[in-house]
Structure 1
Amino acid sequence: MRYTVRAILAVSVLALAGCSGTGGADDGDHAPRHASWWQPRPGLAWQWQLDSEVDPSVDVPVYDIDGFENSAADVARLHRDGRKVICYVNVGAWENFRPDRKAFPSSVLGEENGWEGERWLDIRQIDVLRPIMERRFDMCRDKGFDAVEPDLVEGYGNDTGFPLTARDQLRYNRVIADIAHERGLAVGLKNDLPQIPQLLSDFDFAVNEECAEFDECALLSPFIAAGKAVFHVEYAEPTSSFCAETRRLKLSSMQKKLELGVWRRPC
């Protein structure tokens, strides 16, 4: 199952410095003016389950589940219980276990990313990747999901096998956000903390892993200030070490096990 690979912080910070003065379209011209999709607000409790088909027994208003492994009936069942449902989709790496794996030409496949069966994508090749991601987001829409969680949107800070830059990542992430919005889906920014100032207007919420462990949670405050939810998890840190701070910051926080099964310990 796919979770994010943390970007190398030093590289990311340098990349942010290199793109902080772009101005014009790079500073939010892609932002939706009249959003017709779900707008999750700060403080919503959530469940994140990517390990197998969803277990609907957790009583929270938001579920984040795998788009391929769950059916339209699974989404409809959650909706009947009054829940919003987020579609997890990997947009930054190829996975050899997905049904559309043969749609990716070898030219876009880079280094292994540390998770079995996965390789980084050359996100500069938008003409190749966009149609594939459009079909994936069509799947999310057609199954009735309310939003998308696109994973691995910070390849520029990792050893991908391609000379990716912060500007490449900004362009690709905005394309991903546009694809979601064109289908009436909300879209979350997964990690990629250094580019929050540039991408805040393009994304409707944030999903973060381990900001407390790395003392980075305050970097997510722009989402909260904009009235946008931050769905946050810690793996190694106990709730006693981070809940007081994340409550103050108004993050939707919980502790999860790395495999992202049903178990959760919320703040």
Structure 2
Amino acid sequence: MRGVGVGGLSGVVAAAVVLLAAGCSSGGGSKAEAAGAGAPSPTVAITPAGDSTSSSAGAPGSAPSGSGSPSSSAAPGSSSSAKPSATPGSKLVSVSGGTPSSGGASPSLPLKGLVVMPPSGVKWDYQIGGAYTPPAGVGIVSRDRSAAPAPGLYNICYVNAFQAQPDATDWWRANHPDLLLKTAAGAPVIDENWNEQLLDVSTDAKRAALAKIVGGWFDDCRAKGFQAVEPDNLDSYSRSQGLLTADQDAAMATELARAAHAAGLAVAQKNTTEFLPRAKTIGFDFAVTEQCGDYDECGKYAAVYGSKVVDVEYDDKGFSAACRAYAGRIAIVRRDLDVSAAGGSSYVDKSC
């Protein structure tokens, strides 16, 4: 969140044939929001790989959840146990090296998996503070990775990928102290807004180790039935006391995009407009933004991702600004700052 304040070759080819036979068309050009829309029509990306066996980025042992207590297992190799669903009306695009490109995937290439893109023209809901039954008409939901996905909807899995959740700090210190960012004097570098210690992405070796851990969480998301991941705190370098750079965070994001695609998940750019010029090089598929109405940033994301932008606003001013300029072009929801579950005293949830 912002400081003011996720089978084999033959089977995959068969899935592609079914989609094409259903009359596939581009799912990214819709400008009209369909309140109460039915099943989403996501874009499907087929990822060429060096072999037809899915790689596992899972990390053995216990690992912390995105916003709750540490989970019992990173479930190595679990990404093959669930495949994201696709509906007729989808477009097939190839993904190579983490970077999407237009055009159909060559059937002569071994195919690693299906990546389902978020639908356009539907409402969305941001539920990272607690899961609840989505309001009527919602087609996209983002939930913490410790939660179950919402049945029948497009589900984004929130993962704190660049900082340690406060209740997971002890796990990191006990198991991976070398992956926590510290000053030269050994003091932890903390995001004071959220009391989260930054993860150390300063070297290739540390980024690889972190990608293995976080990639295991992505595998868990896939096994639960999520279609995408939302790696948060991409801008950790801005809170690093000068110890990290934007290039290092971008390199970490590239590793995470590869891990997400290997798990069969689309991956979102979370905030950080300064990364938009290299968004496709990193491998991002769509954007999850906070307060793009407040910060007059919605147009910047739409220029790169078109309708594949979902925005959450935390005050009425930003919500009104975003809705006035972009309702029907991107998905916009107004939530309370705590993104609390329905029934709470501070709960706010409305769309335009």
TM over 0.5: yes
SS where residue 122 of structure 2 aligns?
A: coil
Write the distance in 1 (CA, Å) between the matches of 2:155 and 2:207.
27
The answer for the alignment partner of 2:180 in structure 1 is 108
Amino acid at match of 1:191: N
Deviates more, 1:131-140 or 1:235-244: 235-244
Residues 197-228 of structure 1 deviation map (CA, whole Å, 9 limit, x = unaligned)? 21135111100011121222211123343xx5
Write the distance in 1 (CA, Å) between the matches of 2:300 and 2:259.
26
Post-superposition shift, 1:163? 2.4
SS where residue 36 of structure 1 aligns?
A: strand
Residue 232 of structure 2 corresponds to residue 234 of structure 1 = no
Normalized against structure 2, the TM-score is what?
A: 0.60
Write the distance in 2 (CA, Å) between the matches of 1:40 and 1:222.
17
The answer for the alignment partner of 2:154 in structure 1 is 84
Amino acid at match of 2:159: V
Q: 1:138 to 1:29 in 2, by over 3 A?
A: closer
Unaligned runs of 5+ in 2: 5-95, 106-112, 183-188, 343-347
Rg comparison, structure with higher value: 2
Write the distance in 2 (CA, Å) between the matches of 1:154 and 1:142.
28
Residue 333 of structure 2 corresponds to residue 254 of structure 1 = yes
Q: Identify which of 130, 133, 145 aligns with 1:56.
A: 133
Root mean square deviation, CA, Å: 2.3
The answer for the alignment partner of 1:163 in structure 2 is 243
Post-superposition shift, 1:242? 2.9
Unaligned runs of 5+ in 1: 7-27
Name the count of aligned residue pairs. 231
Post-superposition shift, 1:107? 4.8
Are the equivalent residues in 1 in contact too, given 2:159–2:230 (CA < 8 A)? yes
SS where residue 225 of structure 2 aligns?
A: coil
Write the distance in 1 (CA, Å) between the matches of 2:179 and 2:153.
40
The answer for the alignment partner of 1:44 in structure 2 is 122
Post-superposition shift, 1:235? 1.1
Q: Identify which of 279, 283, 289 aligns with 1:199.
A: 279
Write the distance in 2 (CA, Å) between the matches of 1:251 and 1:120.
31
Write the distance in 1 (CA, Å) between the matches of 2:121 and 2:304.
12
Amino acid at match of 1:109: L
The answer for the alignment partner of 1:120 in structure 2 is 198
Residues 124-161 of structure 1 deviation map (CA, whole Å, 9 limit, x = unaligned)? 221331221122112212212111111001122x1214
Amino acid at match of 1:85: N
Residue 217 of structure 2 corresponds to residue 136 of structure 1 = yes
Write the distance in 2 (CA, Å) between the matches of 1:185 and 1:29.
14
The answer for the alignment partner of 1:9 in structure 2 is none
Write the distance in 1 (CA, Å) between the matches of 2:242 and 2:210.
15
SS where residue 61 of structure 1 aligns?
A: strand
Are the equivalent residues in 2 in contact too, given 1:51–1:260 (CA < 8 A)? yes
SS where residue 137 of structure 1 aligns?
A: helix
Within-5 A mapping of 1:136-155 = 136-155=217-236
Amino acid at match of 1:55: Y
The answer for the alignment partner of 1:21 in structure 2 is none
The answer for the alignment partner of 2:99 in structure 1 is 31
* Identity score, percent: 28
The answer for the alignment partner of 1:186 in structure 2 is 266
Write the distance in 1 (CA, Å) between the matches of 2:249 and 2:179.
18
Write the distance in 2 (CA, Å) between the matches of 1:210 and 1:260.
13
Amino acid at match of 2:196: E
Residue 303 of structure 2 corresponds to residue 222 of structure 1 = yes
Post-superposition shift, 1:46? 0.7
Q: 1:244 to 1:4 in 2, by over 3 A?
A: same
Amino acid at match of 2:334: Q
Post-superposition shift, 1:120? 1.2
Post-superposition shift, 1:29? 5.8
Q: Identify which of 1, 4, 9 aligns with 2:2.
A: 4
The answer for the alignment partner of 1:264 in structure 2 is 349
Q: 1:126 to 1:162 in 2, by over 3 A?
A: farther
Amino acid at match of 1:151: D
Q: 1:192 to 1:87 in 2, by over 3 A?
A: same
Post-superposition shift, 1:179? 0.7
Normalized against structure 1, the TM-score is what?
A: 0.78
Post-superposition shift, 1:100? 5.1
Post-superposition shift, 1:97? 1.4
Residues 230-251 of structure 1 deviation map (CA, whole Å, 9 limit, x = unaligned)? 0101112343333110227x12
Write the distance in 2 (CA, Å) between the matches of 1:242 and 1:96.
31
Residues 168-216 of structure 1 deviation map (CA, whole Å, 9 limit, x = unaligned)? 1221111111110000011110001111121135111100011121222
Q: 1:97 to 1:215 in 2, by over 3 A?
A: same
SS where residue 94 of structure 1 aligns?
A: coil
